[in-house]
Amino acid sequence: MGILNVTPDSFSDGGSYHDDGRLVAERALQRAAGMVAEGAGIIDIGGESTRPGAEPVSVQEELDRVLPAVELIRRELDVVISIDSSTPEVFTEAAALGAGLLNDVRALARDGAVAAAAATGLPVCLMHMQGNTPADMQLAPHYDDVVQEVSAFLSQRIGACVAAGIPRERLILDPGFGFGKTLEHNLRLLNRMEELHELGLPLLVGTSRKTMVGQVLDRPVDQRLHGSLATAVIAVGKGARIIRVHDVAATVDAVRMTEAVLREAKGDVE
């Protein structure tokens, strides 16, 4: 899964979102085409930053950022479009334009989100976050047992989705690396990720360029590729099915190599 942000600061190489929404959609298409050529099977389009401390955007602003990119990418590329959003109106409109997956860091907790997601008929990724919003999630994360609590939260959200008519088979789970977690919590979650298989659903993992990599390696965000690849390899080794990344080509190579080793262990060598 390649990451495609369509926030105003995402295309700082000239041109501005506010000047011309179409220009952003065209830049977004170029980036998406690059990631597809590098091997991405899913493009995750987001119009609201989920970084710690990020300011919320209005529904209209989010729609204006996301929909032109969805429409253009859907028309031009053969790839699954994922919508990185928590906003019911965005789910509905993006689904009507051909999106194929909803990726919600708030696990459909916003008012009307479960019903709107159910009505689209699309698969949904439910992510764990401690704290209600990216703005407050890193204030003082605390868990007695991070893996158990993430698992219990996801289990509760699965129940809410199934009760609202989203079948289990349409759900994907994500432990939410970096969302209301210290470095120790993130490392423990990665080490014990197998325990989340008890929930019986595919796992999505996003660690690409995150603070946890920067903290271990003492590297700024533009020097975290190698550390991010290490976490992707571990996640695939522990059964993750989707890896959400900025650096698609390098991750595809690392994942293909990991899968070859895992296949050999099962006696299945090409």
For residue 52, the minimal CB distance to ligand 9MG (Å) is 11
Q: Does 50 participate in binding ligand 9MG (rule CB under 6 A)? A: yes
Distances (CA, A) of 2 to 44, 204, 220, 249, 260: 6, 12, 20, 10, 22
Closer to ligand 9MG by CB, 25 or 107: give it: 107
Residues 6+ apart with CB under 8 A from 62: 47, 48, 85, 87, 90
46 binds ligand 9MG (CB under 6 A): yes
189 binds ligand 9MG (CB under 6 A): no
We find the least distance from the C-beta atom of residue 179 to ligand 9MG, in angstroms, to be 7
Q: Do the beta carbons of residue 241 and residue 202 sit within 8 Å?
A: yes
31 included as an active-site residue: no
Closer residue to ligand 9MG, CB minimum distance, 177 or 260:
177
Q: By CB under 6 A, how many residues form the interface with ligand 9MG?
A: 13
Q: Which residue has the tokens 């007695």?
A: 144
Judged by CB under 6 A, does residue 227 bind ligand 9MG?
no
Residue 180 touches ligand 9MG, criterion: CB under 6 A: no
Nearer to ligand 9MG, 83 or 254 (CB): 83
C-beta nearest to ligand 9MG: residue: 206
With respect to ligand 9MG, which residue has the nearer C-beta, 105 or 190? 105
Which two tokens mark 38?
Answer: 């590098």
Hey, which residues between 203 and 222 contact ligand 9MG (CB under 6 A)? 204, 206
Does residue 90 belong to the site contacting ligand 9MG (CB under 6 A)?
Answer: no
Active-site residue flag, 210: yes
Q: Which of residues 92-151 bind ligand 9MG (CB under 6 A)?
A: 103, 105, 125, 127
- Interface with ligand 9MG (CB under 6 A), residue from 81, 99, 177, 224: 177
Binding mask 69-88 for ligand 9MG (x = CB under 6 A): ---------------x----
Q: Which lies closer to ligand 9MG via its Cβ, residue 23 or residue 216? A: 216
Residues forming the site for ligand 9MG (CB under 6 A): 46, 50, 84, 103, 105, 125, 127, 174, 176-177, 204, 206, 244
- The catalytic site residues sit at 210, 244
